[in-house]
Amino acid sequence: MKVILLRFGELYLKGDNRHLFESMLIRNIKSKLQGEQFKFEKTFGRYVISGYDDGREKAIVEKLKQVFGLYSLSCAVELPATIEAITAEVEKLQLGNKTFKVFVKRADKKFPLSSMDFAKQLGGVVLSKNHQAEVELYNPQVEIHIDIRLNGKAYMFYDTIKCQGGLPLGCAGRGLLLLSGGIDSPVAGYLVGKRGLEIEALHFHSYPYTSELARDKVLTLAKELVPYVGKIKLHMISFTKVQEMIHMNCSPEYMITIMRRIMMRIAERVCENNNLGAIVTGESLGQVASQTMQSMTVTGGVVKIKPIFRPCITMDKEEIMAVAQAIGTYETSILPYEDCCTVFLPKNPVIKPTIDRCEREEGKLNIEALVEECLAGEETIVVE
């Protein structure tokens, strides 16, 4: 019988919470495969998917590769864990003139042969049926794995396909991703998702300074994250008035700093209104003036209770771009539509803002009223 073997790693570390983590992982796997025909079985330290149509195998594998908390998978053949059954299956292999190695793993130590002896014996079986094949211990072209489990079953497979790793989505709670149209914030959303944080997203637009296309771009980015982080409630807030007021009243070098402090205040309110426990941004240390230590001190400083997660903080742009490419958001992120931050961009933003100056600049505005006005105009879209 053809099956897909699923392996999970870090769940083991979680002690008493393990059951909770596992039930979340299983729930996520099943919901990922919704609409497919399949059977799910939990065996010793593995999950086994079976009962699917052969033609769907590839598609199912692709879906499973997006589930956080799975470490690897293999397309395998399930066999009774007997010498005869395994030998009969190995006899069927056609390797042509390839080099190979047989790997045997026994969880069941009562199996009558040692792993080494059985691997050697099976190697002989392969050679007797494939006269041109050769054993190669160090760098074989084909790896034949036999995994003998405790449930009376054995699995034969070639490759181990790497999955996302991480922790099951949902096990770390729920947070709010500040989603711009750039490269970094979608990556940040993916990275916290990978540690189990479910997300809603908040986007600030500056319509009519920014276009409908900029809005579509953010919707597309959210959609591209959905296969990993599940459906996203996207909060859209107009930032136009705030930007105009800052532009008219505050010192240009503090424009971005004040904007970001207001974004953070609004983000915390959106968290409170939607029961979200953390704010997530795509900031990376030193990338731009608003991402220095001093800038993050004054922008993070307005957030009273929630932690701010900045998963890209130590990553180089190149590294962030590589993740964006791997998850499929990069091409959308580089589309050239204006972001709200670029609309009123000052020439020389302050690199080391001080809290005193921020407060002085903000004294020229009615921050409370601006925040309330932004929140009153909030629009939400569920992206799935």
Beta carbon nearer to ligand ATP, 11 or 199: 199
Which amino acid belongs to residue 48? V
Q: Residue from 33, 183, 234, 298 that binds ligand ATP (CB under 6 A)? A: 183
Segment contacting ligand ATP by CB under 6 A, of 90-98, 226-234, 242-250, 278-286: 278-286
| Subset of residues 310 to 339 that bind Mg ion, contact rule: CB under 5 A | 339
Segment contacting ligand ATP by CB under 6 A, of 16-24, 132-140, 287-295, 367-375: 287-295
d(CA 324, CA 219): 16
Choosing among ligand ATP, Mg ion, none, which partner's interface includes residue 288 (Cβ < 5 to 8 Å by kind)?
ligand ATP
Cis amide prior to 311 (ω within 30 degrees): no
Residue whose token pair is 């990922």: 32
Does the footprint of ligand ATP cover residue 285 (CB under 6 A)? no
Does the footprint of ligand ATP cover residue 184 (CB under 6 A)? yes
Does the footprint of ligand ATP cover residue 81 (CB under 6 A)? no
Segment contacting Mg ion by CB under 5 A, of 27-35, 95-103, 175-183, 366-374: 175-183
Does the footprint of Mg ion cover residue 189 (CB under 5 A)? no
**Residue showing the smallest CB distance to Mg ion in the complex:** 182
Does the footprint of Mg ion cover residue 182 (CB under 5 A)? yes
Does the footprint of Mg ion cover residue 180 (CB under 5 A)? yes
Q: What is the dihedral of CA 114, 120, 126, 128, to 10 degrees?
A: -120
Interface positions with Mg ion (CB under 5 A):
180, 182, 339
